[in-house]
Amino acid sequence: MGSLKDLTNLEELDQFERAVNDYLNLQMDSDRFTAARLQQGVYGQRQEGVHMVRIKLPGGRLNAPQLRAISDILEQYSQHDVVHITTRQDIQAHYVPLEHTPAVLRHLATAGLTTREACGNTIRNVTSCALSGVCPREHVDVNTHLDGAVAHFLRNPLTQQMPRKFKISFSACEADCAQGLMHDLGIVAVKNGDRFGFKVMAGGGLGHKPHEAIIVEEFVEERDLLLVMEAIIAMHNKYSDRVKRAKARIKFLVDRFGPEGFLEKYREEFARTKAALAIQEYPQGEWRQGEDSEIPGPGAPRKVFAQKQPGLHVLPISVPMGNLNVAQLRGLAALMDERGFDQIRVTQDQNMMLANITEDDISGLTAQLEKIGFGLPKAGDDVVVCPGTSTCRLGITSSTVIGPKLDGGAADLRVRVSGCHNGCAQPETGDIGIYGEGRRLHGKLIPHYQIYFGGDGMGGGHVALKGPSVPSARIEIAIERVKAAHLANRNGDERFFVWSRRMGQAWFKELLADLVEVRPEEVESVLRDHGYSSDFKVLQLGGGECAGVSQVQIGSAFFDAAHEREYRDALKFQRKFAEAAKCAEAIARLIGQGVSLLVGGQKIEDLAGQAEELRRALSASTAVPNESHDVLLAHKLAQFAAELARPAEEFNDAGQTALFREIDEWTQAAAEFCVRSDRQLDLSGALPKKRPAVVQRSQSQLSPA
């Protein structure tokens, strides 16, 4: 089933606690603190003074001690006794007072749980098909590769100051139950002739402008998978828009460059990545043919499911609206201990599942689950709901109130309900998906739900057809009408996905036309959202925090330089001195540009030109006296420019070792200058490690060996 990894780091929790104290004591501004807490998965709510804590569960895996740790933080630190399972296989705890968040993160860490990079401009929780490791169809347990990717990219300098968030999924066979189609990066295990490897997709996304991923690699062997992933992530970091945040997801790079242009840029980046990381170790799985058996679909299976291991079964657990209370968390932990289960999984459809159940144990285990408030999935209960206006700053409609009123009917349709167009419930991948919005009719703001039909993010699927927008007060009628039409007009057991495309968008528009129209005399009947006694309004709570705060240019420069430093050292180790020198030049240029911007200068691409611009900017800055040691930053940069301009054949190992050490020391000095200029700047994760001193370089060390 895949082992659980401890991803915690206690040192960074100390740093976070200091940031919380500085903020509460008015010693840190709001923007800087927002960046600090988002990095640790602490997200602002609609309600003042309390926060949501998002717990990352790579592949959705949990053990009994972790369930207890989550129940502990609810009891001890939250003003709410319920946690929420998300479509990204996270668990979210809400209503946590800010002053308690460091204690919450520390307690979670005792069970090996982390919230690091669960929010902000970075790689979010990495998801996988829930049945990986036990599904008869699978080629490999992709959690092996998922764990390798998480270990590689978590806290990686490349991912700390990205233009926007980045979402990754892993699927264990061509069915693609983890829905790579709608991810920034989708990894799918495939069989190609006699070989096993992965198909790689990129550029998918929902929310604003849904976009289906394009195929970047039809087939790569597992030895190259991390390299392919890093190349695509590096493209996002390098080319995505850092100014217009609404256009900063990687799907917009596909539109900007065109599919062929995107692939050309990817091939350039991949060649560079492969050269730098050619000798890096990589995860290796146990591969198999896989059976041509039932496709379980996204999320937990909808019934008891036979595993690839003979005689064993998966037992799905229905979790209505994805909500778990303290008693249920503790009950599950006790049940797992009693029966010796080492793992339970949360799934993309906000449910849970247990594996390795014998047929004789199914009825007894089901009865135990019923005692703590759980049942098996039932036809119609495949309803996924985001928090909406209950807690989310971006929420427009009360998705948590309307969600329990909806069901998928006899055909067990997948219903997805989001409180705004950002689509955290993934409405564009449901059979029926809706998201909340406000529309002005007859001078009044009226809550509506935009409807989608026939979405499927799996292999062979497509983003849903966009239907009409229906007043919130009529959405139940609209969905009931669509379900009835499907049952009445389908051909045999025709899937809703196929049926909806056969009927077409115009047909749905006509079917719901009377519900869309609001006559003046009907306005009063549609003015209120579900669960509200007052007229609808959209609260102006400022920008959402999922995307993080505005970029700090100096931080981006140092983290990008740290990424180049990793490549520089790897290339030098391989004695690829010319390529290593190019990375060193990029480091010097990036940091020179960052410091220059900090003191009112400009970015120059030519390194010698940047050194001169830095000298001018430092000399002109009132914050830097001309006699200051800091003016030497520009002098050293000019020296590096001259040395890096030498012909490649003049470098050898000893010469580069000494030069790179000087560049690293200069980087440290530049960081100290920047932090003195801006005390709230945190560059700790972007700086080179201290190295032992060596003798000064001689001219002979720059010449060929």
Residue 705 has pLDDT above 90, yes or no: no
Distances (CA, A) of 643 to 604, 632, 640: 18, 17, 5
Q: How confident is the model at residue 623 (pLDDT cuts 50, 70, 90)?
A: low
Q: Is 404 helix (H, G, I), strand (E, B) or coil?
A: helix
Residue 221 DSSP class: -
d(CA 219, CA 191): 9
What's the pLDDT score for residue 631? 74
Q: What is the mean pLDDT of residues 586-591?
A: 97
Residue 700 has pLDDT above 90, yes or no: no
Residue 199 DSSP class: E
Write out the two tokens for 19: 């940031």
> Which residue in the block uniquely carries the two structure tokens 């990129």?
202
Residue 308 one-letter amino acid: K
What's the pLDDT score for residue 27? 92
Cβ atoms of 605 and 613 closer than 8 Å: no
| pLDDT tens, residue by residue, 330-386 | 999 999 999 999 999 999 999 999 999 999 999 999 999 999 999 999 999 999 999
Q: Is 147 helix (H, G, I), strand (E, B) or coil?
A: helix
Q: Would you call 372 exposed, middle or buried from its count of C-beta atoms within 10 A (0-12, 13-18, 19+)? A: middle
Distances (CA, A) of 185 to 149, 231, 233, 250: 12, 11, 9, 9
Can you list the pairs that 652-655 forms with residues at least 24 positions away whose Cβ atoms lie under 8 Å?
652/577, 652/701, 652/702, 652/703, 652/704, 652/705, 653/572, 653/575, 653/577, 653/705, 654/697, 654/701, 655/697, 655/701, 655/702, 655/703
Write out the two tokens for 702: 């720059």
Angle between helices 653-677 and 553-573 (to 10 degrees): 170
What's the pLDDT score for residue 626? 53
Please state, rounded to an integer, the average pLDDT across all residues of the chain: 93
> Which of 139-153, 387-401, 675-689 has the least mean pLDDT?
675-689
| pLDDT tens, residue by residue, 306-322 | 999 999 999 999 999 99
Residue 659 has pLDDT above 70, yes or no: yes
Q: Is 682 helix (H, G, I), strand (E, B) or coil?
A: coil
Q: What is the DSSP string of 73-114?
A: HHHHH-S-SEEEE-TTS-EEEEEEEGGGHHHHHHHHHHTT-B
